[in-house]
Structure 1
Amino acid sequence: MPIKEISEVEFDPVTSIKNKALRINLNENIYGTFAEIGAGQETVRNFFRAGGASGTIAKTISAYDKDFSDAIYGIEKDARYVTEARLKSMLEYETGLIEQRISREKHPDKLFFSYANTVATIDFAKKYKGHGWLGLKFQTKPREEYSEIIMHVQFHENNAALQQITLGTMGTNLIYGAFYQYDDPKVLLKHLYDHLTFDQIEIDMINFTGPVFEHVDNRLMSLQLVKNGMTEAVMFAPSGNNVLPANELYKKNILTLRGSYRPVTKVNMNMYEQSLELFLNEKKVDREKTRVIFEITLSNLKSEGTIDEKDFLDRADLLGSLGQMVMISNFQEYYKVVEYFSQFTAERMGLTMGINTFVALFDEKYYRHLSGGILEAFGKLFFRDLKIYLHPMKDPETGEIITSDNLKVHPRMKELFKFFKDNGRVVDIKNYNPEILDIFSREVHQMIVEGRSGWEDMLPPKTTQMIKEKGLFMTKQ
């Protein structure tokens, strides 16, 4: 249903922030509240300055004092304020209040909304750049159930006043997009950056829920964040819900497995199970604080030229059915993965990989963009408390099992490899199954696409069952 306008003014899709706020203000039916904590009231300021705000703004509040905030929205279990839970409490309270105070009988055509944010801008010492949550509950039809957009942002500017202005711009883009671009969430997502750059602010998590987004798969929206360059990595839980990496990885031990998972094979699961056992036996690893991440790179998803969304969801569904946390990243080099995780934890990390991938780490061509070349890359890779768990492979020509003891690297790299191996940074997975070393995801995928038999026994039983029941990978992508 188109949202009714009273203005005859033509608005450009990428119009100014003032005109976006004005278009909202001139709509006689859009009516709501603003609650902003931690960075002034920068979003609602845009609506006041645009003019005509009396028909749009029911109330604006900044419960800046913690005691006042707790008195209004309640006390969170973790006693923190810049959290998703606090944002949701604010949105629930404010929408409940507007429904309670504004008569539907008197205003039958009103489309209610509540916008909220809770943020921490850069600190005085400029050690922490700042981050925050912002969200919106809104209606596109009178009396309908509220839809909701919730997102987390990281600030990149080095000035608190600039961060406030940036937040106000993105908040205005969000409100405008919710009412005028809700029917195409991908378009809405891109326009959140109208009049902004990726150097100013990063969106690292977003979730769309409610009746107008009932057909939206939030994993695809996560993928769009990375694809559009809005963030370098996103994560989603086995349930498929997007999660904030900082929340999942804070002060955790992290074991990461990178692969195509197209589909998940017995080799993948053997690598996971055996490396996890080795990792948990390390002295500095706490089982209760360990997170396992199955990583798929954007370049892997683009391996055939373009990203096929069904193919991506097929892989995600399989990993989710196995109870795994999935990360989509734009990291080509492994040291960038380690640097990314190091934002959240100083605890021990592990990388699980096969022989071919490990040997590729020693190829200097991947590090020509670094002034220190491969030495700089390996310094970044092993700067943290990191170990690599190496799964063996079978030489296709000789049948020889290749491990760290007999693998071949470039002659110039022998001493570098020996240094890390002798210092215990490279650990062979010895409890492997030699009968599955001939299984390769690419070959299995081709068999499934071509309708050939024999692939079933190459995958975990649950994976085989799911592929058959849902028809995953059954057609050419």
Structure 2
Amino acid sequence: MAEDIISTPRKASIINDDERLYGTFAEIGAGQEVARHFFQAGHASNTIAKTMSAYDMTFSDEIYGKASRYVSCDRLVNMLSHEYTLLSERLDTNGRCFFAFANTVATSSHQEESTSHAWMGLRFQLKENGPVNEIIIHARLLDRLRLQQQEAIGILGVNLIFAAAYLTDNEGMLVSSIIDNLTTDRVQVDYINFNGKDLEHLSLQKAGLHLLAFKMSHSLIFSEDGKIKQSTDYLYGKSVVVLRGTYAPITTTNLEILEKAEKAAEIFNTDKKPSSSILEFTIEDLEDPDEQPYQDYLNRIKTINACGHSVMVTNFPLFFQIKSYIRKCTSEQINIIVGSSLLEKIFDETYYDQKKGGILNAFGKLFDYKARLLVFPFKTDSLCSTAKTYNPPPHLSGLYNYLLDNHFIVDILGCEDIDTTQHSSMVRELLQKKDPSWKNFVPSEVSQIIEKQKMFGLT
């Protein structure tokens, strides 16, 4: 609730008055906006050992070592390591808990769509001479003016330090407080990572779901090992194949379709760029990750990871929103896999009534010269529906034929042996009935996890 949120000056004052906390601030790219709040709050000498901003690249490289990019996680980690090491080597704790705060920021002004972003982190102790913990986030700065972006960075940094010091009891408290006194129209947090003995009780995946539930992020990528990846870093320069599904649980049919789609996508990857296949599902209706659906979503991530695939979890209801997000991360090919039975919904104009520009604007965002739909057939004993057999509403037939003729909508070939009538819902029904035949429809790795951890209704 807004009335419960502590103001930024008050947070800085509480930290300054806490004689346990003592550390350094290293900020590059947006002034010293975080440290400024602590100086203005009074009693800053209780908290601040040093502040610095190594703006010059040569100076920065000499201090922190070279990095491939200056606004990157690698550079941030180097900054945290260097500053915390100096602090612990040069000072005695004397009853204090040390911390090193760092950020590296790229700001800009007056762009129609802001590309400003920041890596921010804290290396810290919660007990004198206790273990060293770390929290790192990546934020997209959405304000159009540089001064507003700098202001947001200052607030964000104070929030992160305050959360690390006082709000690590559970993931919800930690995550939600990061954008206190900000709005999701100003800042999006699309990456979080933490480690350390004092944070072992926290679940990184649950924290990620909180980011989505609180609308602090529209999309998160969980790599094959279950760790959250920053989307641009993970997808940059790659040709992408995306398959949306429910995956509750993932089925062998899902993987067979993905394999065929990957082969179809190779035709368009003429530059032979590295490729990444991602299984995506949406949780747009998730409001409280502590409710029952949370565990279901976690189970989906675990079972997909067990098959060796990464997962994109979004709150996007429509395909053009997925594609627009991925396009911000890569300029290479984007191939979105859909079933032929979904074409009717994709060409249903009512889905776009509340969107600016309607279906034409949506399709302009869905399709570009490096983006298309790959369509797998829907088959029954009496029917085989494909992209070529689909008949759109008459007034949209010209648009559909244009997309079909110019390979923006492409049938996936070689799916004759895939039973596309098998769905996750069917597997769940079998699980709930304790019918052992459910194992016939999921990969062996998935069946083992489901049995061991009693997922998806299995008791």
Shared fold, TM over 0.5: yes
Distance in 1 (CA, whole Å) between partners of 2:271 and 2:306 is 26
Please name the residue that 1:47 is paired with: 38
Partner of 2:221: 235
Shift of 1:386: 1.8
**Residue 97 (str. 1) matches residue 82 (str. 2):** no
Residue 324 of structure 1 pairs with residue 336 of structure 2: no
Q: In the alignment, residue 206 of structure 1 is paired with which amino acid?
A: I
Query: 2:445 and 2:212 mapped to 1: Cα distance?
Result: 29
Over the residues paired in the alignment, what is the CA RMSD in angstroms?
2.1
Residue of structure 2 equivalent to 1:4: none
State the shift of 1:409 in Å: 3.4
Q: Is residue 2:152 matched to residue 1:166?
A: yes
Aligned equivalent of 1:442, options 425, 436, 439: 425
Map Cα deviations across residues 109-129 of structure 1 (whole Å, 9 max, x no partner). Answer: 211111111111115877754
Residues 82 and 283 (structure 1), Cα distance of their counterparts in 2 relative to 1, 3 Å cut: closer
Contact 1:275 1:352 in 2 (8 A): yes
1:335 equivalent in alignment to 2:326: no
Counterpart position of 2:335: 350
Structure 2 vs 1, CA of residues 301 and 126 (structure 1 numbering), >3 Å: closer, same or farther? closer
Name the aligned partner's letter for residue 297 of structure 1. Answer: T
Q: 1:300 to 1:402 in 2, by over 3 A?
A: farther
> 2:237 maps to which residue?
251
- What is the letter of the counterpart of residue 87 of structure 1? L
Q: 164, 175, 195: which is aligned to 2:181?
A: 195
1:205 aligns with 2:191: yes
| Structure 1 letter corresponding to 2:316 | F
Distance change in 2, residues 1:126/1:70 (3 Å): farther
Does structure 1 retain, via aligned residues, the 8 Å contact 2:249–2:303? yes
TM-fit CA distance, 1:58: 1.0
Q: Which residue of 2 aligns with 1:458?
A: 441
1:82 aligns with 2:71: yes
Q: Which residue of 2 aligns with 1:7?
A: none
Distance 1:173 1:373 in 2: 39
1:421 is aligned to 2:404: yes
Change (3 A) 1:124 1:439: closer
Distance in 2 separating the partners of 1:243 and 1:211: 22
Check 1:338–1:285 CA distance in 2 against 1; reply closer, same or farther (3 A cut): farther
CA distance in 2, matches of 1:102, 1:66: 28
On the 8 A contact 2:256/2:418 being kept in 1, the answer is no
Query: How far apart, CA to CA, are the structure 1 residues paired with 2:41 and 2:363?
Result: 53
Any idea what SS the aligned residue of 2:215 has? coil
CA distance in 1 between partners of 2:71 and 2:439 (Å) = 48
Consecutive unaligned residues of structure 1, counting only runs of 5 or more, are 1-11
Q: Does 1:27 align with 2:18?
A: yes
TM norm structure 2: 0.94
1:140 pairs, out of 118, 126, 129, with 126
Deviations 1:329-384 (A, max 9, x none): 12111111111122122322111111222221011110111353222222221134
Shift, 1:185, TM fit:
2.7
Q: Secondary structure at the match of 1:434?
A: coil
TM-score, scaled to structure 1: 0.90
Letter of the 1:101 partner, please give it. R
Structure 2 gaps of 5+ residues are none
Post-superposition Cα deviations, 1:157-185, rounded to whole Å, max 9, x if no partner, equal: 12212211111111011111111111123
2: CA distance, partners of 1:448 / 1:388: 33
Aligned residue pairs total 455
Q: Deviations over 1:386-427 (max 9, x none)?
A: 2221111124xx532222233343344333322222222222
Give the secondary structure class of the aligned counterpart of 2:40. Answer: helix
Matches within 5 A, 1:320-399: 320-395=305-380, 399=382
**Structure 1 vs Structure 2: percent identity of aligned residues?**
34
Distance 1:371 1:196, change over 3 A: closer
Tell me: CA distance 1:207–1:429, structure 2 relative to 1, closer, same or farther (3 Å). same
**Alpha-carbon shift at residue 140 of structure 1 (Å):** 1.0
Quick one: structure 1 residues 165 and 394, their matched pair in 2 at CA, closer, same or farther if it must change by over 3 Å?
Answer: same
- Closer, same or farther: CA 300–410 of 1 in aligned 2, 3 Å: farther
Contact 1:270 1:433 in 2 (8 A): no
The alpha-carbon deviation at position 433 of structure 1 amounts to 4.6
Per-residue CA deviation, residues 426-461 of structure 1 (Å, 9 max, x unaligned), is 222221253623311111012113322211111122
Residues 300-344 of structure 1, C-alpha deviation per residue, up to 9 Å, x if partnerless? 768xx9662221111101111112111111211111111112212
Question: Counterpart of 2:284 in 1: which secondary structure?
Answer: helix
> For the residues of structure 2 that align with 1:257 and 1:14, how far apart are their CA atoms?
39
**Which range is displaced more, 254-263 or 275-284?**
275-284
For 1:30, the aligned partner's letter is: L
Q: Deviations over 1:13-43 (max 9, x none)?
A: 5222111111111111111111111111111
The ranges of structure 1 where at least 4 consecutive aligned residues each deviate by more than 4 angstroms after the TM superposition are 123-128
- For 1:221 and 1:138, how far apart are their aligned partners in 2? 19
- 1:266 equivalent to 2:252? Answer yes
Shift of 1:259: 0.5
TM-aligned CA deviation for residue 462 of structure 1: 2.2
Q: Corresponding residue for 1:275?
A: 261
Q: In the alignment, is the contact (CA less than 8 A) between 2:343 and 2:390 conserved in 1?
A: no
Say if 2:8 and 2:158, in contact at 8 Å, map to a contact too: yes
Q: Equivalents in 2 of 1:181, 1:18: separation in Å?
A: 17
What is the 5 A alignment of 1:213-224?
A: 213-224=199-210
Alignment partners' CA distance in 2, 1:301 and 1:391: 29
Matches within 5 A, 1:285-304: 286=272, 288-299=273-284
When residues 285 and 297 of structure 1 are mapped into structure 2, their CA distance, relative to the original with a 3 A threshold, is farther
Q: Which amino acid aligns with 1:160?
A: R
Aligned CA distance change for structure 1 residues 65 and 441 (closer, same or farther; 3 Å): same
Give the whole-Å Cα distance in 2 for the aligned partners of 1:371 and 1:43.
Answer: 37
